[in-house]
Amino acid sequence: MFSNDIGIDLGTANVLIHVKGKGVVLDEPSVVAIESDTKKVLAVGEEARRMVGRTPGNIIAIRPLRDGVIADFEVTEAMLKYFINRVGGKSWYSHPRILICAPTNITSVEQKAIREAAERSGAKEVFLEEEPKAAAIGAGMDIFEPSGNMVVDIGGGTTDVAVLSMGDVVTASSIKMAGDKFDSAIMKYVKTKYKLLIGERTAEDIKIAIGTVNPSGRRAEMDIRGRDMVSGLPKTLSISADEVQEALRDPVSAIVAAAKFVLEQTPPELSADIIDRGVILTGGGALLSGLDELLAEELRVPVLVAEDPMHCVVKGTGIMLDNLDHVVKKKF
């Protein structure tokens, strides 16, 4: 019978959906625009993201998942339903089984909310998986062997560090320090140094265009626009990659510390495997220039950025869907 199982990476920055047999069919920012008085959903995904920081008083563009947790239940549910219906449309031949990778720190109440949202969108069964496990599988690691595999998944809200062996997480740490905090650090730096207020979108653009953690890395500069705190008027100024590196120093150090902590807790046999296999970086934060080199230097093991790091989790869900019965343990 035609199977239409779907895998979802419900990320704080992006939602990605994999449909069995079709591959990744949806990749949209986790943003919803709503009318504040009626709570009516006006736009979801990229359309809503374009509105962030630019809405009139009665419309708000919100990110319902923040810091790796669900900040707004109802809106998360509305977003999930919208995306599931969009990929399924009228073509669901049977109710799909849905595998969802959600932020690692969500509570049982939040898990229930996600399940109910998925069920209300037509799911026959809902499974939950840990993000680093899906990330490792999606990055091509064979985590089912009795050997150590280490993954550092740097998303928007959380960085998840895990050592996996025989299909399970052996040691792990999840910190609320990832892409969003990088953006806030850039906003704060520009505000303190130049008395210039910039929005989240601008900070993210700076990070992607010239962000680096390596002193000998990028030598670029970029013009940025914002509101001068002194005159209150719009202003343009230039910021260099070195300045962005300075701004990112603290959040990046926290990620290095989390990775060290996990390595320190790892049984020695598995540590030895990690020296051979290296650490794999996944998630959008893995694309930050020089981060792989910095981590390799600090951890003294090889560090590699996964191919297509922002798609690892959703690709992992796709592989897990093919082996749903013996790979996924938690049906919640």
Ligand X SMILES: Nc1ncnc2c1ncn2[C@@H]1O[C@H](COP(=O)(O)OP(=O)(O)OP(=O)(O)O)[C@@H](O)[C@H]1O
- Stated as kind and residue range, the H or E segment containing 83 is helix 73-88
* 138/142 Cα distance (integer angstroms): 10
Residues 6+ apart with CB under 8 A from 155: 11, 12, 13, 68, 131, 178, 179, 283, 284, 285
Q: Are strands 65-66 and 69-70 parallel, antiparallel or unpaired?
A: antiparallel
Residues 130-149 that bind ligand X (CB under 6 A): 131
- For residue 204, give every residue at least 6 positions away whose Cβ sits within 8 Å of its Cβ, in sequence order, or none: 179, 183
Residues 305-324 close enough to bind ligand X by CB under 6 A? 310
Of the pair 143, 288, the CB lying nearest ligand X is at: 288
Q: Is 45 in the site for ligand X (CB under 6 A)?
A: no
CA distance 69 to 111: 11
- Choose, by CB under 6 A, the member of 139, 178, 248, 263 that binds ligand X: 178
Query: Of the candidates 132, 283, 316, 318, which one interacts with ligand X according to CB under 6 A?
Result: 283
Q: Indicate the residue among 147 and 317 with the shorter CB distance to ligand X.
A: 317
Burial of 108 from C-beta contacts in 10 A (0-12 / 13-18 / 19+) = exposed
CA 163, distance to chain mean position in Å, is: 18
As given in the structure block, the two tokens for residue 110 are 């939040």
Residue 277, token pair as written in the block: 């296999």
Q: How many residues bind ligand X (CB under 6 A)?
A: 25
Structure tokens at 49: 């993201």
The span of 36-44, 88-96, 279-287, 298-306 binding ligand X (CB under 6 A) equals 279-287
Q: Is 156 annotated as a binding residue?
A: yes
Candidates 18-26, 111-119, 153-161, 163-171: pick the segment binding ligand X (CB under 6 A). Answer: 153-161
Strands (E), 67-215: 69-70, 97-102, 125-130, 149-154, 159-165, 168-175, 196-197
Nearest to 244 by CA among 281, 194, 283, 284: 194
285 among annotated binding-site residues: yes
Q: Does 156 bind ligand X (CB under 6 A)?
A: yes
Task: Give the residues across from 285 on adjacent strands.
Answer: none
Chosen residue from 28, 77, 129, 180 binding ligand X by CB under 6 A: 180
Q: How far is the CB of 185 from ligand X (least distance, A)?
A: 12
Site string for ligand X, 91-120 (x = CB under 6 A): ------------x-----------------
Site for ligand X contains 173 (CB under 6 A): no
122 labeled binding residue? no
Single out the residue of 132, 148, 284, 316 in contact with ligand X (rule: CB under 6 A). Answer: 284
Least distance in angstroms from the C-beta of 153 to ligand X: 6
Question: How near is the Cβ of 325 to ligand X at its closest, in Å?
Answer: 26
Cα distance from N-terminal residue to C-terminal residue, the chain: 25
Q: Which of residues 221-250 bind ligand X (CB under 6 A)?
A: none
Q: Which residues contact 56 (CB under 8 A, 6 or more apart)?
A: none
286 is in an annotated binding site: yes
Mark the binding-site residues for ATP, compressed into ranges.
12-14, 156-158, 204-207, 284-287
Mark the binding-site residues, compressed into ranges.
12-14, 156-158, 204-207, 284-287
Interacting residues toward ligand X by CB under 6 A: 9, 11-14, 68, 103, 131, 155-158, 178-180, 204, 207-208, 211, 283-285, 287-288, 310
